[in-house]
Amino acid sequence: MIVQLLKSEPRLNEAIKMEVGIEECLHIEFQYQKRYYHLNDVIEGNIHFMLVRIKIKYMELAVIRRETSGEGVVNSKPGGIGAGDTGASVSTETQTLTRFEIMDGAPVKGEVIPVRLFLDGIPADLTPTYDAPNTRFAVRYYLNLVLVDEEDRRYFKQQEIILWRKHLG
């Protein structure tokens, strides 16, 4: 038996905008056009380099699925982690669905990198974000932006996105 639930587009779909950095070494601002995406949508955004004093080798964007199950799974708002500290038995499985290199080489101050990721091009089966009302199961998706410097140190920032089903399929 297969169950598919359709949802309508959220009325409020604010942009995701964050600034991250390392004090006096790196400062970037990234912005994605929205937080809610249907399963065949396109993630679009920009990455602005405000300060660059470390040598970056490349930058990649990954889509991560985190499935949490067990007693005491906590429903969270967008941006939350999801598993509560209840002492209960909670199992979390994290899977990188896809990884795209979006920049190769060192950026300069003021450079803007456009981001465009087609969700229907991801080889894994995407499902809608799911928070169980009985607090036993949850599926969440994250965009993981990773920068790697010439010494192979990795700097990353994760942001939760919400996926919803627009059509049966």
pLDDT one-digit tens code per residue, 114-164 = 999 999 999 888 989 988 767 788 999 999 999 999 999 998 899 999 998
Do 45 and 132 meet the contact criterion of CB atoms below 8 Å apart?
no
Report the Cα 40 to chain-centroid distance in Å. 16
Q: For position 88, what pLDDT does the model report?
A: 66
Give 168 or 108, the one with higher predicted confidence. 108
pLDDT, averaged across the chain: 85
pLDDT > 90 fraction of the chain, expressed in percent and rounded = 54
Q: What residues have CB less than 8 Å from 155, skipping those under 6 apart?
A: 22, 26, 146, 147, 148, 149
Chain segment 100-123, per-residue pLDDT in tens: 999 999 899 999 999 999 999 998
Domains annotated on the chain, with CATH: 16-164 (2.60.40.640)
Pick from 111, 101, 109: nearest CA to 148: 101
pLDDT at 165 over 90: no
Q: Residue 37 forms beta bridges with which residues?
A: 163
Task: List pLDDT tens digits, range 54-98.
Answer: 999 999 999 999 999 887 666 544 444 444 455 568 899 999 999
